[in-house]
Amino acid sequence: MVSLAFRIAFGVCSIDLFMHGPVKEQKIKCLPLIFACFAIATDEYLAYNVSLLAWLGCMLYDLYTEEEKAQEQVQAVAEPEVEGEPQVPESITKLLADAVEKFHANCGKVNCEGKEWKPCKETKDTRVENSSYSGLSIKRWRATTEIEGTRESIVSELFDYTRRLEWDPSLRCGERLETFPGGDLGDKILLSRYETAPAAGGAVSSRELVDVGVMKNTDDGGLFFVNVSVGDKEIKLLPSIPKTKSDPIRAFTHPGSGIKLTPVPDSKNEQGEYTKFTCTLVSNIQLNGWLMQSIVNSATTSALVDSTTLMKQHLYETAKKTK
């Protein structure tokens, strides 16, 4: 016999594994959930052990089949090499085009699925909102604030990892893997790998992300950068992408994420450059791993306010030094 608290915790963990765990195939992960329900109902140690073994078996099966599927997908989408300047594979261009469209929609009154943005927190400087994400337990997040600096200096501080790592404690490391011409999508396409620092006192471990993003200077003097994670299909199409490691866990940026700078009127300097921008940040990141999504959702609001405030303060101090 086990305590009631253990039975409740075991049930909650089993449901969370079923809904948010690494096993993706519905039919496969139903089996250990059934075993878990049986264990809770009978309250037998053997049943609990069988349930745990079933979950372990499902994860091993999922790892094995995912590798096979990834190889099949790579073969199916493999594209011929082109001599000369490196080009972005067509499948990734399509991925980015979709991400750009969804990002601009997310900057409006409703998100790219037509769902309302709901206010979460508003401080003197920053407004944070979220909206639901169909088919996933994660939420879409949006933060809006005003920042200072020229467009060139802001790009340097945010997208040059050598500079970014000096002031942003939310990142553990980062590197630019490759730069491609932007083509019809923008000025340039950047392939980057970065790792987040552990959060919540170490309760949330470091996460690795490998994103491809398009940057474009807009005619009004502003800028947008839209990023999305590359999946299994794209890994072998870009040789500079490192192989997935078990540590840290690889998180995933869903389409619709990015940052937009809109010039504040009457903020031009003597050189005719805008020095203030309304900054809109949209985040659709799935952390993956062993985390209860409800806890992640509740912590994200404060994390966005803190990170946006830090960015705002750093850019203000940088702009003051260059005046």
Preceding amide of 32 cis, omega within 30: no
* Residues 63, 231: Cα–Cα separation, whole Å: 15
**Whole-prediction pTM:** 0.75
Q: Is 102 helix (H, G, I), strand (E, B) or coil?
A: helix
Give average pLDDT by consecutive 10-residue segment, the chain, 323 residues. Answer: 74 73 70 79 79 78 60 44 66 94 97 96 94 89 97 96 94 92 94 87 82 96 96 76 71 96 95 96 89 77 91 94 77
Predicted pLDDT at 18: 72
Number of residues that make up the chain: 323
Stretch(es) of the chain classified as CATH 3.30.530.20: 90-322
- CA dist 28 and 57 (Å) reads 10
Strand 249-250 with 276-283, pairing:
unpaired
- Give the tokens for residue 189: 């396409």
Number of H helices, E strands in the chain: 8, 12
Q: HEC string of 226-289?
A: EEEECCHHHHCCCCCCCCCCCCCEECEECCCEEEEEEECCCCECCCCCECEEEEEEEECEECCC
The residues, ordered by sequence, that sit 6+ positions from 208 with a Cβ below 8 Å of its Cβ are: 193, 194, 195, 245, 248, 249, 250, 251
pLDDT of residue 211: 94
| Contact predicate 29/21, CB 8 Å | yes
Q: For domain 90-322, which architecture applies? A: 2-Layer Sandwich (3.30)
Which CA distances in Å does 100 have to 15, 142, 215, 254? 35, 15, 10, 11
The pLDDT value recorded for residue 49 is 80
- Show Cβ contacts of residue 282 under 8 Å, excluding neighbours closer than 6 positions: 103, 106, 107, 140, 141, 142, 256, 257, 258, 259
